[in-house]
């Protein structure tokens, strides 16, 4: 009977070890999730441009910045595609907020000038001396 007890104890020890392993894996997943960092577009651009300068190897750069090399290469590809798209499409760009406000002010000023000119033209037409008829000149 002592042999059965050892088998039971071994099975129990294996189950406990498996349980601890699963708990450890769960803990590691939660730590990874909690420490995952979101990078702003500005940070991504800075890191990609630093990689282009070749002052350090990509692996050193990624290690220093805490970036997975696969993410770095993905950002580099996106950066290059965005630049290529920007260069190949028409050079028309969206107006900035400042430019829009300036154009609105200019448009308002021009509308006021047109309104003033319409009023002035209307006033001049009302006060103008009527033209002479061609057939009545010189007759008495």
Q: How high is the pLDDT of residue 85?
A: 81
pLDDT for 104-115, tens place per residue? 999 999 999 999
Q: Which of 95, 45, 89 is nearest to 65 (CA)?
A: 45
Q: How high is the pLDDT of residue 60?
A: 94
pLDDT for 39-68, tens place per residue? 899 999 999 999 999 888 999 999 998 899
Q: How high is the pLDDT of residue 46?
A: 94
Pure H helices in the chain:
2-35, 41-53, 58-65, 69-88, 97-127
Model confidence at 139, pLDDT cuts 50, 70, 90, reads: low
Write the CB contacts of 51 (distance below 8 Å, at least 6 apart in sequence).
58, 61, 72, 76
Terminal alpha carbon distance of the chain: 153
The tokens 């008829």 sit on which residue?
133
pLDDT for 76-118, tens place per residue? 999 999 888 878 776 667 778 889 999 999 999 999 999 999 9
CA distances from residue 59 to 20, 26, 70, 76 in whole angstroms, order as listed: 34, 28, 10, 14
User: For residues 74 and 68, what is the distance between their CA atoms, to the nearest angstrom?
Assistant: 10
Q: How high is the pLDDT of residue 53?
A: 92
Q: Distance from CA of residue 41 to its chain's centroid?
A: 7
């Amino acid at each position: 009977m002592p042999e059965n007890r050892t088998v039971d104890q071994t099975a129990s020890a294996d189950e406990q070890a498996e349980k601890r392993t699963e708990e450890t894996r769960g803990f590691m997943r939660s730590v990874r999730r909690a420490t995952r960092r979101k990078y702003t577009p500005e940070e991504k651009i800075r890191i990609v441009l630093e990689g282009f300068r070749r002052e350090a190897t990509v692996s050193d750069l990624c290690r220093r910045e805490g970036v997975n090399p696969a993410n770095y290469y993905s950002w580099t590809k996106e950066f290059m595609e965005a630049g290529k798209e920007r260069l190949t499409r028409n050079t028309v760009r969206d107006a900035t907020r400042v430019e829009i406000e300036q154009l609105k002010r200019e448009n308002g000023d021009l509308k006021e000038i047109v309104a003033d000119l319409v009023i002035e033209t209307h006033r001049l037409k009302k006060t103008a001396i009527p033209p002479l008829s061609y057939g009545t000149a010189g007759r008495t």
